[in-house]
Amino acid sequence: MHQLLFGVRLVYSILYEGWKVIDSAWNGQALGRAWNSQLSDEARSGLAFLGRYFAQPNLSRTIRDNFGFHYLADLLRGPLAHTANRSDEIVTGKRSANIFYPFAEEIRTLALLQATVPEQRGRLWDHRASEEDMRQAAIRLYEAYRPVQEAFDAFANHVLVKMVKSLPYQTEEFTPPHVAKLSEMSSVLFVEEPS
């Protein structure tokens, strides 16, 4: 769960940072003026969607600013107060890379899920919140980035391919010396320690 949430936080954060690059280098800039007329309808539609999405408060910005690379204490106070009387385990080893605090993960996860809930709907840690409320927040968290990513892909895939094809290039075959197999990879959460 920790790694899945880590991945989701990165996706939202990267989409927001990607938009900042597009907005600063494309919209109203020489790059956009030079290439905008060459966009496909799909790429133009993707760019328009991104412009509308990022022009208003959105989950990508919220997660990037509050959870993506650091955590704001204000957002963690509510969940912490809700679970303050609990005790929890700490998973540790001889190396600092092997320390995991499930209690801290629970607090951060609850705050992250709360970010998906409209303000007027209440708090997920409130006694009135149901398991269904929690489930719906998780579904929103795991699905709300998809249209943004699809729009980003529609725009970037078209533009990048078009730009690369416009450059003089030479191709050669490359075989990587080692390929990672996801089925053989272990979690990056814990590392091997000497005996």
Run means of pLDDT, 10 residues per run, the chain, 195 residues: 83 95 88 90 96 96 87 79 68 71 81 86 82 91 95 95 88 87 72 68
Exposure of 40 by Cβ count < 10 A (0-12 exposed, 13-18 middle, 19+ buried)? Answer: middle
191 lies in some domain? no
193 lies in some domain? no
Please state the pTM of the whole predicted model. Answer: 0.75
Asked whether the beta carbons of 15 and 62 are under 8 A apart, the reply is: no
Q: CA distances (Å), 87 to each of 1, 71, 90, 100, 170, in order? A: 20, 21, 10, 14, 61
Tell me the β-bridge partners of 91: 100
- Residue 87 is predicted with a pLDDT of 63
Q: CA 175: distance to chain centroid?
A: 31
- Residue 86 is predicted with a pLDDT of 62
- Half-sphere exposure at residue 117, Cβ-oriented, CA atoms within 13 angstroms: 22
128 lies in some domain? yes
59 lies in some domain? yes
25 lies in some domain? yes
- Residue 7 is predicted with a pLDDT of 87
* Range(s) of the domain holding residue 38: 2-184
- Residue 72 is predicted with a pLDDT of 74
190 lies in some domain? no
Q: Say whether 100 sits in a helix, a strand or coil.
A: strand
32 lies in some domain? yes
- Residue 12 is predicted with a pLDDT of 95
Total domain count for the chain? 1
195 lies in some domain? no
- Residue 87: enclosing H or E segment and its boundaries? none
Longest dimension (CA), the chain: 65
- Residue 78 is predicted with a pLDDT of 81
